[in-house]
Structure 1
Amino acid sequence: MLKYWVWLSELKGLRNQTKLALLRRFGDPESIFYADPDELMLTEGADPGQLKLLENHDLAPADKILADCQRLDIQLLTFSDAAYPGRLKNIYDPPALLYYKGKLPLLDDLLSVAVVGTRDCTPYGVACAEKLGFGLASGGAVVVSGLAKGIDAAATRGALRAGGFPIGVVGNGLDVHYPYESRYLYEDVASAGLLLSEYPPGTEPASGHFPVRNRILSGLSLAALVVEAPEKSGALITAATALEQGRDVFAVPGPIDAPTSVGCNRLIRDGAGLVTDAFDILREYEGRFTLDLKEAREEPETLGYQARTVPEPKPVAPALSLSRGDVELTDDQIAILKALSDTEPMQVDDLTELVDIPTRRVLSALTVLEIDQYVVQHAGKHYTRAVTLTE
C-alpha cells in the first residue's frame, strides 16, 4: 500500500541507501514495517542505529501526506512501479518514492536532455537557453530542468513555446512554488509535461535539497547541457553528477572575459561537447530516437540572441486611449500595456509576476501586441511599450 511507501520515505534520519537496502531484501515497505528486528538485522550493510528508526510505526503523517496528494491532484511513483524509469533506477542513489503532476510516459523511450545554468544569468544566457530549449523540443527531445530562475526557466519556456513535453524536477513540494515568480511555469509544465519531486506536499525549499535534486535531473536524462555557469555554480555540480552517471555533457561557449561563462568554457576545454544550436546535440542521438533535425534548426529569429537593431515600427498613434476604446484589446493585453514602461525594457518573467497572469497568456498577448506594434521586443526577450496610454 502507498501509505507504507510514504512511511518509509519520510522516516526522519533514515538514509536513502538504507531504504534501498531494505527494499532489496524485503521487496516492499509493508514487509519492512511488519518485519521482526532480527529479520531487519539480516539486511546487507545494516546499521543498528538506522534500523532503530524503523521502530517508529506512526502512520498518521503518511495518511496526511496521502490526503494532501489527493486534494492537490499529486500522484505517487514508487521504486517498484513498472513506470519507474530504468535510467533513474540504475544510478547510485535513486529516490525510493517520487511525487508527480502531469503525464507519465515511458521516460526511457525519450531523448531527455537536462538543461541547467546559473540563476544570475545574462541576456545572452537567457536567449541561448530559450533558443536551445525551443530547438531541442522542436527536434523531438525532452527538456529537463530544475525550473529555477534564469537559465532553467528560459529553457523550459522555449520548450513550451515549441509545444514540447518539458520535465521539471524541483527541490520542494509540488504545491510550493520556488522561486515564487515561477508559479505559472509550474502550472504550465504540469499541464504540458511532467512535474517531479521526491519531497511531499508542503515541503519548503532548503539549500540541501538542490544538490540532492540534481542527481534526479541528470539521472532522468541521457545528456546534460550547461548554458551559462560561473566558476562556482550548482549547474557544474549537475554536470559532475552527470559524468559520474555516465551521461554525456555539453556546454555553450561564452566570452572568455565573462564571469558567467567561466564554467562552460572550462567544461568545453575538458572535453564537453560544444553547442551552438540544438542540432549539435540531436545529431548525436539521431540513430537511436525518432528526431526531426530539420525542425530543430528552423527556430524563430526572435528566439536567437544576436546584436540587432529593432526595426522601425510602422506608423502608429503616439497616444492610445483605453477609456475611449480606440482599439479592441483583451483584459490581458490591457494589463500588460499598463505594466510595461515605454523607456525601460522589462523581461517576461518580471512582467508575468507583475501582472499576475500565467506565462502562456502573457506570451500570447505580447505576440499580438508586437504584431500590432503596441510593444517593441528587444534582445533577450525584453519588452517596452511603443505607445503612450491615456485615460
Structure 2
Amino acid sequence: MAALNYWLWLTTRRGVGQRGVLRVLEYFGTPERVYFAQQEDLEIIPGLTPQAIRGLLDKNMEESEAILGRCDRLGVQIMTIQDADYPERLRQISDPPAVLYILGHRIRFDEEAAIGVVGARKPSAYGQQVAPKLGLELARCGALLVSGIAQGIDSLALRGALKGGGRVVSVLAGGVDVPYPQENRFLYQDVAAVGALISEYPPGTRHKAEHFPIRNRLISGLSLGVVAVECARFSGTMRTIDHAIEQNRDVFAVPGNIDAPMSQGPNWLIQQGARPVTCGEDILADYWDQFPQKLAHAKVMDPEHLRQRLEPPPKAQKEEPKPEPQPKEQPGREKISLSQQRERFTDDQLVVLHAMLEGADTADVLVDRTQIPARRVLSALTMLQVDGAAEQLSGGRYAPLVELEQE
C-alpha cells in the first residue's frame, strides 16, 4: 500500500502530465525516489517545466490516500507500469499511462486476440446493424473486444460481444465508477462482470471532453488492430485510427454506401489501404496462428458453417410432436481438472456448469438455481456450447458435456 501511495501521489501532481511522469520515472527509477527529490534534483531533468517542478515539490499525500481508500471500497485494482502483468503492448506506445485503474478482471492482454471496435455516437441504421453483428462474431470466435462505452457504435459492439458470451474491455475517459452516459450504467455492470472497465483517471473523475482524445490512444494501444465501423471523415474515431497507425496496429474498416455520411471515414480509410471487412472472420484471418488456443474453436469452421452458427435458425414447419429425447449418455465425457477449470472457463460459466450437473434444465431454471442475471446465464451457455462443454437439448434444456473435478 505504501508503494502505491507514491504512485498515486506522482500521477496526481499538478502540471506534470503523463509525459512528465514518464520523464521523472526514467531519471529517478521509482515514484518514492521522486517524492524525496529536492528542487535542485528536479531542475536538472531536461524538459521539466517550472510548473511541473512546483507540483513535484508539493509532498501532500492526502489526495493519494483518498484515492487509495476509494479504490479499496469499490474493489478497484491499481496497476502500475512497473508491474509484471502491465500489458507490453501498452508499455511500447509513446506515452503509456503510469497507472491504470481496473474494475473487473485483470486481463493478460498480451495473450489475447484483442480487437478495438470504434465508431460514431449517432450511427445510421446500417451501423446499428453491423456493430452488434461484429461484436457477436468476434466474441464467438474467441477474440477480446476493446472499445469505449459511449452511445452508438461502442455500446452496440459491446452488447453484441456480451450476447456472444465473450469477454469485453471498455476504456474510459473518466473514473471506472462514473457511468457515462448515465443510461449505460447497466452496461458498465455487465462489462465489469465478464471483462474489465479500465481508466488512467482515478475513481470519481468526471468524463471530460478533453479526456476522450487522450483515452483513444489506449483503445488502440491495447489492441492488435482497430475496426472503424461508421464515422465522419474528421472525428474522434479517426483520431483513434491515427493512434493505431502511429502504434503500428492493423486498421480495418467496414465499407458503406458512397453517399452515406457515416461511411465517409471507413471508405476513405479503405482508399488509404485499410482492410475492408464484412464479418468477424475477415478481421481475425491473420491471427489464427498467433493465438491458436484462443481462436482454435473458430479456426476449424468454414465461413458458411460459421454463418449458420451465428444466424438464428429458420422457422421450422409445424410437425407432429415427437417424443422428447433424453440426454445422451457420455461415458467418455471429458474431465476438467481444478487447475484447468479456471484457465478454460469464466466464473459464470463454472457456476452454470455446476448447476447443470444437477440435471439438464432450461435457462430459466438455471437462472433461479444460480441467482445470476439472465443475460449472463445466456452468455455463459452460449460460450459453453461454442467451447464444446455443453449442448442444447430439445425443449430448451441444456446439459453438460464435461465433468468437473471437485475440490
TM-score, normalization by structure 1? 0.77
Contact 2:232 2:265 in 1 (8 A): yes
Q: Out of 147, 150, 163, which is 1:148 matched to?
A: 150
Tell me, in whole angstroms, the C-alpha distance in 2 between the residues paired with 1:5 and 1:90.
20
* 1:227 Cα deviation from its structure 2 partner: 0.6
**Mapped pair 1:360 → 2:366:** no
Q: 1:359 to 1:151 in 2, by over 3 A?
A: farther
One-letter amino acid matched to 1:33: Y
Contact 1:113 1:225 in 2 (8 A): yes
User: Which residue number in structure 2 is paired with residue 257 of structure 1?
Assistant: 259
Q: Out of 218, 221, 230, which is 1:219 matched to?
A: 221
Contact 1:147 1:170 in 2 (8 A): yes
* 1:43 Cα deviation from its structure 2 partner: 2.5
User: Which residue number in structure 2 is paired with residue 322 of structure 1?
Assistant: none
User: Which residue number in structure 2 is paired with residue 159 of structure 1?
Assistant: 161
User: Which residue number in structure 1 is paired with residue 360 of structure 2?
Assistant: none
Tell me, in whole angstroms, the C-alpha distance in 1 between the residues paired with 2:107 and 2:265.
33
RMSD (Å) for aligned C-alpha atoms:
2.6
Q: 1:86 to 1:360 in 2, by over 3 A?
A: same
Tell me, in whole angstroms, the C-alpha distance in 2 between the residues paired with 1:158 and 1:258.
23
* 1:211 Cα deviation from its structure 2 partner: 0.4
User: Which residue number in structure 2 is paired with residue 177 of structure 1?
Assistant: 179
* Greater Cα offset, 102-111 or 203-212: 102-111
User: Which residue number in structure 1 is paired with residue 114 of structure 2?
Assistant: 112
Q: Out of 79, 86, 89, which is 1:87 matched to?
A: 89
Name stretches of at least 5 consecutive residues in structure 2 with no aligned partner: 319-363, 365-372, 380-394, 396-407
* 1:287 Cα deviation from its structure 2 partner: 1.7
* Greater Cα offset, 45-54 or 218-227: 45-54
Tell me, in whole angstroms, the C-alpha distance in 2 between the residues paired with 1:66 and 1:240.
34
* TM-superposition CA deviations, 1:270-306 (whole Å, max 9, x none): 1100000111111111221121235683453259xxx
**Mapped pair 1:243 → 2:245:** yes
Q: 1:359 to 1:147 in 2, by over 3 A?
A: farther
**Mapped pair 1:102 → 2:119:** no
1:1-391 matched pairs, under 5 angstroms: 1-290=3-292, 291=295, 292-294=298-300, 297-298=306-307, 299-301=309-311, 360=375
Identity %: 45
* 1:44 Cα deviation from its structure 2 partner: 3.8
* 1:359 Cα deviation from its structure 2 partner: 9.1
Tell me, in whole angstroms, the C-alpha distance in 1 between the residues paired with 2:228 and 2:48.
38
Tell me, in whole angstroms, the C-alpha distance in 2 between the residues paired with 1:359 and 1:32.
49
Q: Secondary structure at the match of 1:225?
A: strand
Q: 1:359 to 1:197 in 2, by over 3 A?
A: farther
Q: 1:312 to 1:107 in 2, by over 3 A?
A: closer
Contact 1:139 1:294 in 2 (8 A): no
Contact 1:227 1:264 in 2 (8 A): yes
Contact 2:119 2:229 in 1 (8 A): yes
Tell me, in whole angstroms, the C-alpha distance in 1 between the residues paired with 2:312 and 2:181.
26
How many residue pairs are counted as aligned between the two chains?
Answer: 320
Tell me, in whole angstroms, the C-alpha distance in 1 between the residues paired with 2:143 and 2:316.
37
Name stretches of at least 5 consecutive residues in structure 1 with no aligned partner: 304-309, 315-329, 331-357, 365-371, 373-391
Tell me, in whole angstroms, the C-alpha distance in 2 between the residues paired with 1:221 and 1:44.
32
* 1:105 Cα deviation from its structure 2 partner: 2.7
* TM-superposition CA deviations, 1:168-214 (whole Å, max 9, x none): 10101111100111111111111101110011111111100000000
Q: Secondary structure at the match of 1:205?
A: coil
Tell me, in whole angstroms, the C-alpha distance in 2 between the residues paired with 1:240 and 1:232.
11
Contact 2:135 2:145 in 1 (8 A): yes
One-letter amino acid matched to 1:260: M
* Greater Cα offset, 45-54 or 276-285: 45-54
One-letter amino acid matched to 1:92: S
Contact 1:172 1:203 in 2 (8 A): yes
* 1:18 Cα deviation from its structure 2 partner: 0.9
* 1:311 Cα deviation from its structure 2 partner: 8.1
User: Which residue number in structure 1 is paired with residue 387 of structure 2?
Assistant: none
One-letter amino acid matched to 1:293: K
Contact 1:230 1:263 in 2 (8 A): yes
Tell me, in whole angstroms, the C-alpha distance in 1 between the residues paired with 2:159 and 2:136.
8
Q: Secondary structure at the match of 1:284?
A: coil
TM-score, normalization by structure 2? 0.74
Q: 1:201 to 1:288 in 2, by over 3 A?
A: same
Q: Secondary structure at the match of 2:84?
A: coil
Contact 2:15 2:51 in 1 (8 A): no
Tell me, in whole angstroms, the C-alpha distance in 1 between the residues paired with 2:24 and 2:277.
42
* TM-superposition CA deviations, 1:297-325 (whole Å, max 9, x none): 3453259xxxxxx98999xxxxxxxxxxx
